[in-house]
């Protein structure tokens, strides 16, 4: 089966990710969604996003 992996997408790029999944023949592909933006987030914001990412990944792996 390979190595488990989860795609992570920020909220501003959900529509682009959905379109790409559809174009690649995987409509409805599940990925973790975290808050946007990441690059300009404060240390506290990055920590919050990291925790959000872990929770989202847990929910995807346990599907």
* pLDDT in the model for residue 16: 96
Q: Is residue 22 part of a domain?
A: yes
Query: Within a 13 Å sphere around the CA of 14, how many CA atoms are in the beta-carbon half?
Result: 10
Q: What's the total number of domains in the chain? A: 1
Q: Is residue 2 part of a domain?
A: no
* pLDDT in the model for residue 17: 95
Q: What is the mean pLDDT of each run of 10 residues along the chain (63 residues)?
A: 84 96 94 91 94 87 68
* pLDDT in the model for residue 1: 67
Structural domain range at position 19:
8-61
Q: Is residue 3 part of a domain?
A: no
Between CA 20 and CA 50 the distance in angstroms is: 25
Tokens encoding 15: 């529509």
Q: Is residue 40 part of a domain?
A: yes
* pLDDT in the model for residue 24: 96
């Amino acid at each position: 089966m390979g190595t488990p992996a989860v795609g992570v997408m920020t909220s501003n790029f959900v529509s682009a990710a959905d379109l790409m999944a559809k174009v690649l023949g995987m409509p409805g592909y599940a990925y973790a969604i975290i808050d946007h933006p990441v690059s300009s987030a404060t240390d506290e914001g990055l920590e919050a996003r990291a925790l959000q990412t872990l929770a989202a990944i847990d929910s995807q792996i346990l599907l």
